[in-house]
């Protein structure tokens, strides 16, 4: 049972994250300040700092919250889709893009990517890439299950294939969030073309 103090702490953290998310969308990352977030969430700047450290820490917390809910949704969606490498990858990518728009919006994802790539001391980039690895493991596990079911040959290394598919869709995800014009169906079509080209090359090489 969660105590009153712990519940109050969780409520303050949620209030800070919600206020920061709204300000990141409205003002952008650079113009948002810790003091502004504190004022909007009804706490002190010291409290914001104690919970999250920096604005980048808040961004990372938003991504972590997004990914926790996303992993559960991915597992459900992948179970019900056709058990084919292309269809699994497309379902994975579609779920990620839909979830990203529903929870953080493109403008915040652009701020996340910019913050991670600009960070040189690993305080933000390492936790972010650790979260990416958790997502990649969802595909790795799915490839392993498909191999156990006889859908994939035993010569395939599920970890290598799952991570390769993750990195391919992740590159397309970055394109997606960095463009206001690209729609989910546009990205899915590109991923299908990517996989079709790669599988066609593999077929030629095997022959």
**What CA–CA distance (Å, rounded) separates 116 from 127?**
10
In the numeric block, which tokens belong to residue 70?
């996303």
Sign of the alpha-carbon torsion through 117, 118, 119, 124: negative
**In the prediction, which pLDDT does 207 show?**
45
Question: Residues 129, 186: one domain?
Answer: yes
Question: Residues 79, 167: one domain?
Answer: yes
**In the prediction, which pLDDT does 36 show?**
95
Question: Residues 36, 132: one domain?
Answer: no
**What CA–CA distance (Å, rounded) separates 61 from 67?**
10
- Which CATH number is 154's domain given? 1.10.357
Question: Residues 32, 73: one domain?
Answer: no
**What CA–CA distance (Å, rounded) separates 88 from 94?**
10
**In the prediction, which pLDDT does 4 show?**
75
Question: Residues 19, 112: one domain?
Answer: no
Domain count, the chain: 2
**In the prediction, which pLDDT does 124 show?**
80
Count of CB atoms within 10 A of residue 52's CB?
A: 21
Q: For the chain, 207 residues long, give each residue's pLDDT as a single digit of tens.
A: 557 778 888 889 889 999 999 999 899 888 999 999 999 999 999 999 999 988 989 988 888 888 888 998 998 999 899 999 999 999 999 999 999 999 888 999 999 999 888 876 777 888 889 999 999 999 999 999 999 999 999 999 999 999 999 999 999 999 999 999 999 999 999 999 999 999 887 654 454
Among 207, 103, 114, 92, CA closest to 161: 92
For residue 7, the Cα-to-chain-centroid distance in whole angstroms is 27
Question: Residues 10, 73: one domain?
Answer: no
Put residue 82 in one of left, alpha, beta given phi > 0 → left and psi -120 to 50 → alpha.
beta
Say which DSSP state 119 is in. -
Question: Residues 167, 101: one domain?
Answer: yes
In the numeric block, which tokens belong to residue 34?
């810790």
**In the prediction, which pLDDT does 6 show?**
83
In the numeric block, which tokens belong to residue 88?
């699994």
- 193: domain range? 60-206
Cβ neighbors of 23 (< 8 A, separation 6 or more) are: 32, 36, 37, 40
- Which CATH number is 13's domain given? 1.10.10.60
For residue 153, the Cα-to-chain-centroid distance in whole angstroms is 29
**In the prediction, which pLDDT does 117 show?**
87
Q: What is the pTM assigned to this prediction?
A: 0.87
Question: Residues 26, 1: one domain?
Answer: yes
**What CA–CA distance (Å, rounded) separates 147 from 111?**
38
Query: Contact 139/75 with Cβ under 8 angstroms?
Result: no
Count of CB atoms within 10 A of residue 164's CB?
A: 16
């Amino acid at each position: 049972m969660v105590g009153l103090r712990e519940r109050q702490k969780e409520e303050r953290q949620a209030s800070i994250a919600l206020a920061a998310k709204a300000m990141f969308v409205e003002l952008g990352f650079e113009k948002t300040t810790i003091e502004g977030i504190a004022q909007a969430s009804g706490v002190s700047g010291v409290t914001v700092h104690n919970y999250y450290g920096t604005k980048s820490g808040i961004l990372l917390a938003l991504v972590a919250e997004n990914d926790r809910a996303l992993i559960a949704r991915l597992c459900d969606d992948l179970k019900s889709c056709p058990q084919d490498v292309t269809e699994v990858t497309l379902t994975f990518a579609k779920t990620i893009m839909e979830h990203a728009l529903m929870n953080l919006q493109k403008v915040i994802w652009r701020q996340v990517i910019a913050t991670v790539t600009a960070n040189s001391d690993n305080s933000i980039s390492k936790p972010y890439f650790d979260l990416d690895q958790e997502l990649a493991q969802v595909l790795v596990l799915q490839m392993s299950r498909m191999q156990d079911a006889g859908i994939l040959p035993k010569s395939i290394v599920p970890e290598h294939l799952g991570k390769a598919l993750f990195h391919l869709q992740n590159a397309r995800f970055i394109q997606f969030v960095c463009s206001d014009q690209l729609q989910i169906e546009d990205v899915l079509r590109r991923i299908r073309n990517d996989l079709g080209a790669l599988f066609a090359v593999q077929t030629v090489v095997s022959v």
